[in-house]
Amino acid sequence: MKPLALISTLALACAAHAAPATYTVDPTHTFPSFEADHMGMSMWRGKINRNAGTITLDKAAGTGSVDITMDMASIDFGLDIMNSKAREPDLFDTAKYPQARYKGRLEGFQNGAPSRVVGELTLHGVTRPVTLTINTFKCMPHPMFKRDWCGADASATINRADFGIDAGKDWGFKMDVGLRIQVEAVQAE
């Protein structure tokens, strides 16, 4: 093989290897969860049961993106009456705003793993910047699918009033909401 042909072949191979991979979020292993104050008496915890999305990841280049959609009607506090209340107009108003969406870029890579997601959350019709801290991140071959499989645990705190959800503020509810997101995604075929 001539030197120019060899260089071209190597360059194409490196470019193919460095290409970002797309991962499909596994909704059976991904649950955005939250905790919110209940008048200073206790913390209510819940999760969003239905979600979908994609993650792109280029470990070598230290880049990637996240795009997750959450079905707000699937909000689950573990208590039916609270689930119904959360769907009403003074809270999430799921009839008017059925979905929340988080879009961001992966940053702060160390040894192929990101340490944060810098993005925007659209909730209740309002979009605000939200940075997620990635507490753990791991990729490995999926034992059944034989494709790359990545998982992470991320967290952040938001002010729900910033998203137009301030029910209970006059009664002493704190507006800060802790977010905790566990996510698993399998590389697309």
Q: In order of start, what are the domains of the chain with their CATH numbers?
A: 20-187 (2.40.128.110)
136 vs 117: CA distance, rounded Å? 12
Query: Given a cut of 50, is residue 122 above it in pLDDT?
Result: yes
50: phi then psi, degrees, rounded to nearest 5: -120, 125
| Tokens of residue 72, six digits | 């707000």
Q: Which residues pair with 164 in a beta bridge?
A: none
Decide if pLDDT at 15 tops 90. no
Instruction: Report d(CA 165, CA 89) in Å as an integer.
Output: 9
- Tell me what the mean pLDDT of segment 139-158 comes to: 94
In the predicted model, is pLDDT for residue 27 greater than 90?
A: yes
pLDDT digits (tens, 9 = 90+) for 76-112: 999 999 999 999 999 999 999 999 999 999 999 998 8
Average pLDDT, the chain: 90
> Which pLDDT value is given to residue 152?
97
Residue 189 pLDDT class (50, 70, 90 cuts): confident
Give the pLDDT confidence score for residue 2 in this predicted structure.
Answer: 54
CA torsion sign, 70 to 97 to 179 to 77? Answer: negative
Residue 177: band (very low, low, confident or very high) from pLDDT cuts 50, 70, 90: very high
Q: Which residues contact 31 (CB under 8 A, 6 or more apart)?
A: 47, 48, 49, 51, 181, 182
